[in-house]
Amino acid sequence: MESSSDIVVGLDIGTTKIVVMVGRKNEVGKLEILGMGRSESLGVTRGVVANIEKTVQSIRTAVSEAENKSGVDVRVVNVGIAGQHIKSLQHRGIKMRNTLDDEISQEDIDMLINDMFKLVTLPGEEIIEVLPQEFIVDNEQGIKDPIGMSGIRLEANFHIITGQVAAAKNIHKCVHKANLEIQDVVLEPIASSAAVLSEEEKEAGVVLVDIGGGTTDVAIFQDGIIRHTAVIPFGGNIITEDIKEGCSIIKNQAELLKVKFGSALANESQENEIVSIPGLRGREPKEISIKNLSHIIQARLEEIIEHIYYEIKNSGYENKLIAGMVITGGGSQMKHIGQLFEYVTGMDTRIGYPNEYLANGNADEITSPMYATGVGLILKGFEKLERQKGQKKNIDQEDSIKVRQGEKTKGGFLKSMLAKGKQFFEEDEN
């Protein structure tokens, strides 16, 4: 088994699949995926754990597969959280400092962030993540990194993400029952954006849309800062349900039809294309028109896009998104989905593959949009590790400075005492 010093594990508990990814960084800072395990997610509905035992079983299956492939003993994981209970709000925090002489340090920023966790939320809700957007030092606005500056009044605008206590507790319970520890809980749209968006896109303004099985996650970036997050309670599974109802077939057949023959644009399908589906228990086979299938898919997708567009308008950044839209997640693999998004929203659209920060030589399967969240969780895990290392380094430096200052003062005190004694004897002699 490899040592897990600089190995990070991502655990994506999704509605359709549970994925465990083991990764490390190579010498040039790119991500190498050492192994991946996946299992069917049986206990999760719309991104929320509904059956703990089934979820634990699925996690264990995925973990053992990832361990076998990577040769790493998986103990600590970074978990993603999603679901329709996730909400976001904006808030401003203020900290008054005592003196201008001391520079603003990471400690001041951490205190501001910790204060935000004390905000009063609705009953049954808790704050999951606090993201600083910009800082204001003595009324000087638009500062991205105030460390090292002088100032008395330090303010910050925060993007605060809240979720239900019960939903978060159930995720913790499942992970602990699977004999794992949690290093960090990350909001899934933030993880996906870490994997598929470039720094230029975040700077220019971009909407990330992650279409999963049970939910569609939205994250809006502008000026390199996250501005808005939302979780829409519709995903690929609801399209499968529509096909099942509309074509009067069983769920497995509806899923296969969607994946193999589905298209987001009905006009792209030929009138005379027909798929024959075997009947149940010797009944006659069913013939389904591909055009009808595409009409069902397009109707539901248009509804999901309307929800996304509402969130974009709601954020107030509708006209500031130069880089348009990036679609990722399993649902983004639907044929012609990019064209439908462009047609409904009028924004430039591309499909997001999580190969932005991946090293060459990883399996092609991993660069599929459906694994964007898993890759993003590993990247977020490395970010946290680097932050912790940086903080430890700062503390060590501060301690060594204090020690040196102590030595100086101690030496200075002795010298002054000796000098005074010498002076006293000299005077006495005189």
Domains, the chain, with CATH or none: 87-164 (3.30.1490.110), 198-355 (3.30.420.40)
What was the pLDDT predicted at 427? 60
Q: Map tokens 């991205």 to a residue.
A: 144
For the chain, give the percent of residues with pLDDT over 90: 43
What the block records as the tokens of 217 is 């996650």
Q: Who has greater pLDDT, 364 or 148? A: 148
Question: Could you give the CA distance from residue 75 to residue 61 in angstroms, rounded to a whole number?
Answer: 14
**Beta strands at 31-40 and 17-25: parallel, antiparallel or unpaired:** antiparallel
- Of 24-28, 318-322, 419-423, the range with the highest mean pLDDT is 318-322
Q: Tokens representing 199?
A: 């720094």
pTM recorded for the entire structure: 0.85
Encoded tokens for 158: 């925060």
As a dihedral over the C-alpha atoms of residue 358, residue 363, residue 369, residue 374, rounded to 10 degrees, the angle is -70
395 confidence band (pLDDT: 50, 70, 90):
confident
Mean pLDDT of 327-331: 91
Residue 134 to residue 412: CA distance in whole angstroms: 44
Q: What tokens appear for 327 in the block? A: 């679609």
Predicted confidence band at 3 (pLDDT cuts at 50, 70, 90)? Answer: very low
Mode of pairing for the β-strands spanning 153-164 and 87-96? antiparallel
Provide mean pLDDT across the span 212-231. Answer: 90
pLDDT greater than 90 at residue 241? yes
Contact criterion met (CB below 8 Å) for 337 and 327 = yes
Contact 145, 225 (CB under 8 A): no
| pLDDT value at residue 391 | 73
Lowest mean pLDDT of 294-298, 327-331, 364-368, name the range.
364-368
Condensed to tens digits (0 to 9), the pLDDT of residues 242-262 reads 999 998 888 998 999 999 998
Query: How confident is the model at residue 378, as a pLDDT?
Result: 93
Contact by Cβ (8 Å): 206, 324: yes
Q: Are strands 206-211 and 325-328 parallel, antiparallel or unpaired?
A: parallel
Per-residue pLDDT for 417 more than 70?
no
Tokens, residue 354: 């999580």
Q: Is the pLDDT of residue 1 over 50?
A: no
pLDDT for residue 86 is more than 60: yes
The percentage of the chain sitting over the pLDDT mark of 70, rounded to a whole number, equals 91
Mind listing the pLDDT tens digit for each residue in 102-142? 888 888 899 999 999 999 988 999 998 898 989 999 988 88
Q: Which residues pair with 410 in a beta bridge?
A: none
Question: Does the pLDDT at position 337 exceed 50?
Answer: yes
Confidence of residue 423 (pLDDT cuts 50, 70, 90): low
Tell whether the model's pLDDT for residue 397 goes beyond 50: yes
Query: Distance between CA 257 and CA 330 in Å, rounded?
Result: 15
d(CA 276, CA 287): 4
Pairing assessment for the beta strands 349-351 and 17-25 based on DSSP bridges: unpaired
